[in-house]
Structure 1
């Protein structure tokens, strides 16, 4: 027996920025199991967005004098088992999806999807972060990042990710 479902999306999805562990899931059956994100982020100036922004004659200094910086121990066990008790067909109509920026482990899933155990482990130093928009100007700035770590971004990511998805043919 096949059950048919019709999903109709009649609007817009407009996302200007997706960072780290973001997601857009559209449909009757999406699975996002075991997402994790760990990190350290230093920004002198963070994200700038809009129009006609002007950064003029700035001195940006980032001093991060750690001996051990960002030790991450991310040992996860992620299990995902889907039971084959619902056979169905999905008809999906979208008007539009617009995403300008995606970084790290982002996803857009439309319909039946399985996203298992996405990791994003990082260490980032920005003197100037993300710059979004139109006609933005960065002029005559001095940027200095001083990161004299002995150990930097030591990441232990020994995940166990088990996914069992059965795809039975419809009768």
Structure 2
């Protein structure tokens, strides 16, 4: 069997925005098994990305009086098996990778990749939200978010993740 490969990355990686549970995998062989990202997030205003954003006279109020806040039960069992296969000749050559926005559970894979078991359970209170791009003008806004739950964002994620990674 021919086992020859060439991986060459000589350029730049430019990333503007990545959210939770996002990944960039650049290699000859990529393996990710059993990703986990659980949580609750309160943001009063949110994220601002880009250049020359103008945000004036904003009032953001977030009220989240939970009695029990985000109980998480995550008892994952992860198994990963690699099965050697016929490796053919592969040539990968990159100058650059540009990513503008990667949201939850996003992946960019270059090369042979096996991505299994991605979890991203989340409850998010954002009073205003995300702002992306250039030259945004956000003026004189009022954002109010009230979330008076007795029990908030119950996450019961008890996965069994089995990955058979076959490199052929």
Report what 2:100 is aligned to: 100
- 1:155-166 equivalent positions in 2, closer than 5 A: 155-165=155-165
Distance 1:141 1:167 in 2: 53
Task: Say whether 1:138 aligns with 2:133.
Answer: no
Distance 1:166 1:26 in 2: 18
- 1:72-151 equivalent positions in 2, closer than 5 A: 83-151=83-151
RMSD of the TM alignment (CA)?
5.2
- 1:32-47 equivalent positions in 2, closer than 5 A: none
Q: Is the 8 A contact 1:92 1:111 kept in 2?
A: yes
Q: Alpha-carbon deviation of 1:143?
A: 2.8
Report what 1:153 is aligned to: 153
Distance 1:53 1:85 in 2: 51
Q: Is the 8 A contact 2:33 2:163 kept in 1?
A: no
Scaled by the length of structure 1, what TM-score is found?
A: 0.55
Q: Is the 8 A contact 1:51 1:133 kept in 2?
A: yes
Unmatched segments (≥5 aa) in structure 1: 9-13, 36-45
* Partner SS, residue 130 of structure 1: coil
Q: Deviations over 1:112-166 (max 9, x none)?
A: 1110110111112222211112232434433322111111110111110112336
Distance 2:106 2:74 in 1: 19
Q: Alpha-carbon deviation of 1:96?
A: 2.0
Give 1 or 2: higher strand fraction: 2
Distance 1:128 1:49 in 2: 14
Q: Alpha-carbon deviation of 1:30?
A: 8.3
Q: Alpha-carbon deviation of 1:26?
A: 9.2
Unmatched segments (≥5 aa) in structure 2: 9-13, 36-45
Distance 1:167 1:80 in 2: 13
* Equivalences, count: 167
